[in-house]
Structures are given as structure tokens and as C-alpha cells.
């Protein structure tokens, strides 16, 4: 009886095709790679051409490299080596690169150097194309921020506070040695008082160390401990103070930086896997979205969102020639400075303030019945009425400056005879008469925001914000695994985020 054998389909690797298929035929219609190709073909690459020299050997076409990079970011391939390998392995990349094989150095140099000044205009062109197709609006945006870890060592930090502490120690040591020299000096060789160390700098430290050496080095009766101290000071302080000055220049307005990426600032990362709120070097990325398309992005060193809005709106205006008409954002942006900015630019702001959600909560309101915002204001007499019905008179105002230099006018009102009041203790904790501080402008702005946010449209926009801007971060971080920048320095990080934003927009268009 014949043995039955399994039947297989024909398999012959040496099969010769009469008409071999082209790469074009192998790419399915509607595939995301076709969207990348089509969109990049439409954008103006003139700004990109400026990054090339006329002389020298021929280069890969910038459109080719841009398509490879953007498609790489669309498909979660971020490393230049993997992108270079994909150009030899994947038909999608082969099609985009027309069977050219740029190496990883070429890709990296294109991304880190050539795109530095040109990517913003590429991104803007993509956004304008999508806006023309009616997929997004550049007038009605939702703004939010997230922190992304920098490609920097988390243990190579420099803190402003530790520089200040070291400088204080320096001042103390120098003053002590100076005072010792004063005691030792003979009457005829009297030493002046120690220098004024309120401000300490390189020149002052060098001069002080030189003077101390001049007075003490020649003496035989100098205490050994002081001699050791003087030796240490002479050897280390001039170098240390020069280093601190350099570090302070890098710090600028910040409180910290990483030595391996000096543009990165230490921030608390929400998603840190240990969930212990560890500080890591990173960047605060701000985006504005419309229908989950990224309309604008900016990179900031500030860990909080509040102080980023000005620069973010400036970028929006620079990109599109006008401010948005409507902006929706969470309570992180609800400051007097931001409300004022949005008023000046005539932007309708659906922006919550810090206590907006709590104010809607009855339990919270009942916990603080005597809060200053619940007191009645008598406009005619410019006074507040306290819970006992007594008048709280205006006692003066002062200007408070925020960290960005924004000036707030704060008015103060004081009650009388709180000591005899039965509500004393429940109404306020101070031993003196109760004083309240009122920022009238902020109070007005909060009232305006409260009314706007509680309109039918306000409620709809608040709901929409949650599923417009927030999922974009979730998608990039969670679904596409981008949690850490690959490049170092703010400019290069901006290029990376620009590529991610283009990729996000093209993925969304393809979907």
C-alpha cells in the first residue's frame, strides 16, 4: 500500500519572475507610509536646503532622509542605527529611500544638525496642510504639558542650593582665617576688617586668599590647624569659585541641571516606575491640540506648567501669524499672569483656576465657611464684612512679584477687636486682629473664568479637553513607547519632539 505524504504548496527561492514587481506595487494603497510620502512631498523644503553647503560631495536628498525619519517615528523606530538597518530590511523604508542606504551617521547628522533650524517650518507646513483639509483648527486649541526624561545621567546633578551652601562655607572659612590673622598681627601691622562677603566672586576670593597668604605664610607662630586650613583654601577656593560661577551661568533661572545634558532640569516624573516621585533630569513639553492633532509644541525647563504659557502662545503666533481664538486648559494654567495675557490677546479662555473643582464641592465649601472669598465686599466703603458683621477696613496694599517678575497688586483689610469675638479661633488662627489679603484683579478673572466654564459650551470644552490633548501624550508615551529623549540639548530635543508631533499628526490622518 502506497504511503500517503503531506502536500505542500510550491516553494522555490530561485524562481525567476518574468516581470518582477516594483516596490511601488508592493506598498498597499492607504498604508501609513503612503501618507508620509504624500505629505512630505507637499511641504516646502527650502528652509531645509539652507542647511546644506553648495560645495563638497553629493548628499542624500533631504526629502528622502526626512521621509525615513518621519516614517521611523510613525512606526516607533527612533534609533539612527535601527533606521539605517530598516532602509535595508523593510520594503516601506526601501520605497521611501528609493533603495538608497544612508548609514546611521548620515541619519543622525541630518536629525541633529540639518533639521535644527528647519524642522519647525516642516511641522508648521504639515499643520497648515491638515488645517486646509479641515482635520484640525489652529484657532481653537487645548493646551497641556508633560515631562519627558532627558538622555542624561540622573546622578550627575548640580543644585543651586548646594552651590549657595558651599559659598556660605567659603565665606565663613575666609572670615575665620582673616580674624585669626587680625589677632596675630602686631599693632604696627594692623589688619583691616574682613572684606564684605555679601557678594562673593572669583576676583574677591583670589584677592582675599593672596592677602591671607601674604600676612600668614611668613609667620612661624601660626597654629597648625590654621596653616592646614590656609593651604586647603589656597589650593581649592579659587578653582571652586570659578566652577560655581560657571555652573550658575548654566543654571540661569533654574534650580538644577544635569552635567550630562546641561539643558535638562531635575523634575518629578509622574510615571517613574518606582512610584517614589524621584527627581530626574527632563524637559517640560507643552503642546496644543485640536482633534488630537498637535498644532503647536514648545520645550521648557520649568517643572510647572503655569509659567510656560507666554512662550507657548508666542510660538503659536510666530507659526500662524495670530493668537488662537479659544484656549482650553486645566488648573495648572490658571494664574493672574496667564489670565491677563489671554485677555490682552483677546483669547476666550476656558482655563480653570486652582480651587475651581473644589469650589463646586459642597463638603469643601462647608469646611471653610469663613474663607476670605466668602466675605461680603462693600464697594462704596471699600471694606469687607467679617462673619460677625463687623467692618474690615482697608489698611494698605503692596506689590507682590511672581517668579517671572509679574506684578500683583494685593490689598489688605483688617478686622477690629477680634480678641473679644466668640468666633475667634474658628474664624482665623492669628493672635492679632484678622487680616485678609485680596487680589482684586485675580478675583475678577476667577469670577469670569467660573462663569465661562459653567456655560453649556464651557462644560463641553472641559469634557473635550480630557479626550483631546491628554490622549496624545498617552499615545506617544504608552502606545509608542517614547518615554526618554535620545538626543541631548534643548535644540535637539525640540527636533525630536517635532518629529514625534509630525508622526502623531500623520498617524492620526492615516487613521
Scanning 186-194, 353-361, 384-392, 440-448 for contacts with ligand SF4 by CB under 6 A, the matching segment is 384-392
Nearer to ligand SF4, 243 or 416 (CB): 416
Give kind and range of the element (H or E) at residue 284: strand 279-290
- Least Cβ distance, residue 386 to ligand SF4 (angstroms): 3
With CA atoms as reference, report the closest residue to 145 among 320, 336, 355, 302.
302
Nearer to ligand SF4, 432 or 451 (CB): 432
Scanning 9-17, 166-174, 268-276, 382-390 for contacts with ligand SF4 by CB under 6 A, the matching segment is 382-390
Q: Does 390 bind ligand SF4 (CB under 6 A)?
A: yes
* Angstrom distance (rounded) from CA 475 to CA 161: 37
The three cell numbers locating residue 126: 504639515
Helical pair 440-453 and 456-466, crossing angle rounded to 10 deg:
90
Q: Does 375 bind ligand SF4 (CB under 6 A)?
A: no
Q: Does 418 bind ligand SF4 (CB under 6 A)?
A: yes
Residues 433-462 as x/- pattern, contact with ligand SF4 by CB under 6 A: -x----------------------------
* Angstrom distance (rounded) from CA 72 to CA 87: 10
Residues 198, 199, 203, CA angle at the centre, nearest 5°? 130
- Least Cβ distance, residue 413 to ligand SF4 (angstroms): 10
* Angstrom distance (rounded) from CA 191 to CA 183: 9
Select the residue interacting with ligand SF4 from 49, 207, 239, 423 (CB under 6 A).
423
Nearer to ligand SF4, 63 or 433 (CB): 433
* Phi, psi for 224 (deg, rounded to 5): -65, -40
Q: Does 349 bind ligand SF4 (CB under 6 A)?
A: no
Nearer to ligand SF4, 387 or 471 (CB): 387
| Gyration radius (Cα) of the chain, Å | 32
Select the residue interacting with ligand SF4 from 295, 415, 469, 500 (CB under 6 A).
415
Select the residue interacting with ligand SF4 from 129, 131, 226, 388 (CB under 6 A).
388
User: 80: how many CB neighbours lie within 10 A of its CB?
Assistant: 23
| Residues 6 or more apart in contact with residue 270 via CB below 8 angstroms | 147
User: 506: how many CB neighbours lie within 10 A of its CB?
Assistant: 24
Nearer to ligand SF4, 45 or 388 (CB): 388
> 309: number of CA atoms within 13 Å, CB side?
28
To the nearest 10°, the Cα dihedral for 181, 183, 188, 191?
A: 50
Residues in the chain: 511
Scanning 22-30, 380-388, 448-456, 484-492 for contacts with ligand SF4 by CB under 6 A, the matching segment is 380-388
Scanning 83-91, 116-124, 385-393, 404-412 for contacts with ligand SF4 by CB under 6 A, the matching segment is 385-393
- Least Cβ distance, residue 369 to ligand SF4 (angstroms): 11
- Secondary structure of residue 202 in the 3-state scheme: helix
- Least Cβ distance, residue 443 to ligand SF4 (angstroms): 19
Q: Does 412 bind ligand SF4 (CB under 6 A)?
A: no
- Least Cβ distance, residue 265 to ligand SF4 (angstroms): 43
Nearer to ligand SF4, 217 or 423 (CB): 423
Select the residue interacting with ligand SF4 from 289, 424, 501, 504 (CB under 6 A).
424
- Site size toward ligand SF4 (CB under 6 A) is 12
Nearer to ligand SF4, 304 or 372 (CB): 372
User: 389: how many CB neighbours lie within 10 A of its CB?
Assistant: 7
To the nearest 10°, the Cα dihedral for 290, 293, 299, 303?
A: 60
With CA atoms as reference, report the closest residue to 314 among 305, 324, 306, 302.
324
Helical pair 309-320 and 119-132, crossing angle rounded to 10 deg:
70
Select the residue interacting with ligand SF4 from 386, 472, 503, 506 (CB under 6 A).
386
Select the residue interacting with ligand SF4 from 39, 421, 453, 472 (CB under 6 A).
421
Scanning 262-270, 301-309, 424-432, 447-455 for contacts with ligand SF4 by CB under 6 A, the matching segment is 424-432
| Residues 6 or more apart in contact with residue 320 via CB below 8 angstroms | 124, 128, 138
Select the residue interacting with ligand SF4 from 194, 195, 238, 387 (CB under 6 A).
387
Placement of cell 525567476 in the chain: 16
Q: Which residues bind ligand SF4 (CB under 6 A)?
A: 386-388, 390, 415, 418, 421, 423-424, 427-428, 434
Amino acid at each position: 500500500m502506497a504511503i500517503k505524504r503531506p502536500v505542500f504548496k510550491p516553494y522555490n527561492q530561485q524562481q525567476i519572475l518574468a516581470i518582477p514587481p516594483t516596490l511601488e506595487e508592493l506598498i498597499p494603497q492607504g498604508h501609513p507610509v503612503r501618507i508620509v510620502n504624500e505629505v512630505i512631498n507637499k511641504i516646502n523644503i527650502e528652509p531645509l536646503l539652507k542647511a546644506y553647503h553648495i560645495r563638497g560631495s553629493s548628499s542624500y536628498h533631504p526629502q528622502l532622509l526626512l521621509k525615513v525619519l518621519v516614517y521611523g517615528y510613525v512606526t516607533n523606530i527612533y534609533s539612527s542605527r535601527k533606521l539605517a538597518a530598516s532602509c535595508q530590511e523593510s520594503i516601506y523604508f526601501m520605497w521611501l529611500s528609493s533603495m538608497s542606504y544612508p548609514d546611521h551617521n548620515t541619519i543622525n547628522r541630518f536629525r541633529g544638525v540639518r533639521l535644527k533650524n528647519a524642522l519647525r517650518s516642516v511641522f508648521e507646513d504639515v499643520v497648515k496642510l491638515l488645517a486646509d483639509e479641515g482635520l484640525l483648527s489652529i484657532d481653537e486649541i487645548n493646551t497641556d504639558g508633560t515631562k519627558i526624561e532627558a538622555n542624561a545621567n540622573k546622578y550627575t546633578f548640580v543644585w543651586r542650593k548646594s552651590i549657595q551652601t558651599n559659598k556660605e562655607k567659603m565665606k565663613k572659612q575666609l572670615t575665620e582665617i582673616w580674624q585669626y590673622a587680625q589677632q596675630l598681627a602686631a599693632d604696627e601691622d594692623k589688619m583691616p576688617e574682613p572684606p564684605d562677603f555679601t557678594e562673593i566672586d572669583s576676583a574677591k576670593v583670589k584677592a582675599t586668599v593672596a592677602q591671607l597668604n601674604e600676612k600668614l605664610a611668613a609667620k612661624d607662630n601660626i597654629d597648625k590647624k590654621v596653616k592646614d586650613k590656609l593651604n586647603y583654601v589656597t589650593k581649592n577656593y579659587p578653582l571652586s569659585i570659578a566652577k560655581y560661577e560657571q555652573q550658575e551661568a548654566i543654571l540661569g533661572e533654574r534650580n538644577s541641571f544635569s552635567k550630562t545634558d546641561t539643558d535638562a532640569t531635575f523634575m518629578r516624573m509622574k510615571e517613574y516606575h518606582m512610584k517614589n516621585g524621584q527627581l530626574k533630569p527632563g524637559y517640560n513639553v507643552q503642546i496644543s491640540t485640536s482633534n488630537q492633532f498637535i498644532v503647536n509644541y514648545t520645550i521648557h525647563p520649568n517643572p510647572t506648567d503655569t509659567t510656560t504659557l507666554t512662550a507657548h502662545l508666542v510660538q503659536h503666533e510666530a507659526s500662524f501669524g495670530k493668537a488662537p481664538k479659544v484656549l482650553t486648559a486645566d488648573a495648572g494654567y490658571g494664574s493672574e499672569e496667564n489670565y491677563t495675557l489671554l485677555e490682552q490677546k483677546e483669547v476666550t479662555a476656558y482655563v480653570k483656576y486652582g480651587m475651581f473643582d473644589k469650589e463646586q464641592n459642597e463638603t469643601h465649601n462647608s469646611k471653610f465657611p469663613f474663607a476670605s472669598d466668602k466675605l461680603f465686599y462693600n464697594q462704596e466703603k471699600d471694606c469687607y464684612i467679617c462673619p460677625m458683621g463687623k467692618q474690615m477696613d482697608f489698611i494698605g496694599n503692596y506689590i507682590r512679584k511672581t517668579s517671572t517678575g509679574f506684578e500683583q497688586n494685593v490689598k489688605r483689610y483688617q478686622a477690629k477687636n477680634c480678641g473679644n469675638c466668640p468666633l475667634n479661633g474658628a474664624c482665623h488662627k492669628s493672635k492679632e486682629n484678622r487680616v485678609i489679603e485680596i487680589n482684586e484683579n485675580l478675583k475678577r478673572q476667577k469670577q469670569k473664568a467660573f462663569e465661562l466654564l459653567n456655560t453649556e459650551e464651557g462644560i463641553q470644552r472641559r469634557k473635550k479637553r480630557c479626550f483631546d490633548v491628554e490622549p496624545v501624550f498617552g499615545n506617544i508615551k504608552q502606545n509608542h513607547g517614547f518615554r526618554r529623549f535620545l538626543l541631548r540639548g534643548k535644540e535637539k530635543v525640540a527636533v525630536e519632539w517635532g518629529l514625534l508631533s509630525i508622526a502623531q499628526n500623520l498617524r492620526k490622518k492615516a487613521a
